[in-house]
Amino acid sequence: MSLKGKRAFITGSFQGIGLGIATALAHQGADIVLHGLADPETIKNAHAAVVDAGAGSVESHVSDLKDSVSTERLVATILASGPVDILCNNAGIQHTANIAEMPREKWNDIIAINLTSYFDTMRLLLPQMQARGYGRVINTASVHGLVASISKAPYISAKHGVIGLTKTAALEYAASGTRESGGVTVNAICPGWVETSLIEPQIQARVDMFNGDRAAGIADLLSEKQPSRRMSTPDEIGALAAFLCSLAAHNITGASIPVDGGWTAQ
């Protein structure tokens, strides 16, 4: 599989799952457009990682996706230097609290970034994919787009919304292109536990409980919900995203693919 000549825009890609996706697409030779909010050192490291992975070219953009007007400007800037073949919506934030205690502004921010920004980038980029007969939209949803848990009302609402949005867009663009051109597909990946710096404090707390045994600590942390008791890595999520970008995946559209060690099979 090769993605040489394809240009991929990944939101929230300076670290974590987004960087894992960007790196996986770079391995296939894609041109990479990184994006997010991060300090200069984090951006520099992400840029270097994607270059080392083999990206055809790399550029970085910093913007806050809460503001739709800002997102429109961002997309216009990106399109000014060439089309976008692959859109990976990955940006997201979280805040935990019961519904009664959830600050109203947190609801607004989480819905804006975790759902509305996905709608904005899709409405702006899908038509130009359709015109060329090839396009891939990969939305990072979550296991929490399929099931719920307490204290995460805005996050879970947004992720359920992402899955509905994914299905709708998939239907609207299903007949675009051909097998040879690759068609236009829209899918969601639904990770369970993924080993990122964001959850490292939770991991380390359990590792300490097991006298430094990392595998045992992770298994204990995951025991309540993820039957495999193994975390995924950002690179593994990226590998799935890369496959979904291939021509072989032209008929995979509207899917919400769990990567959750059996969590949602229960």
- Per-residue burial over 177-194, b if 16 or more Cβ lie within 10 Å, else e, is beeeebbbbbbbbbbbbb
The residue with tokens 């032209």 is: 250
Angle 213-217-220 (CA atoms, 0-180°, nearest 5)?
145
The residue with tokens 């949803």 is: 141
8 A C-beta contact, residue 79 and residue 24 = no
Which amino acid is present at 233? T
Among the listed residues 50, 130, 57, 243, the one whose alpha carbon sits nearest the alpha carbon of residue 259 = 243
134 flagged as catalytic:
no
- Per-residue burial over 90-106, b if 16 or more Cβ lie within 10 Å, else e, is bbbbebeeeeeebeeeb
DSSP state of 14: S
> Per the structure block, which two tokens stand in for 237?
């999520």
Q: Which residues carry out catalysis?
A: 155
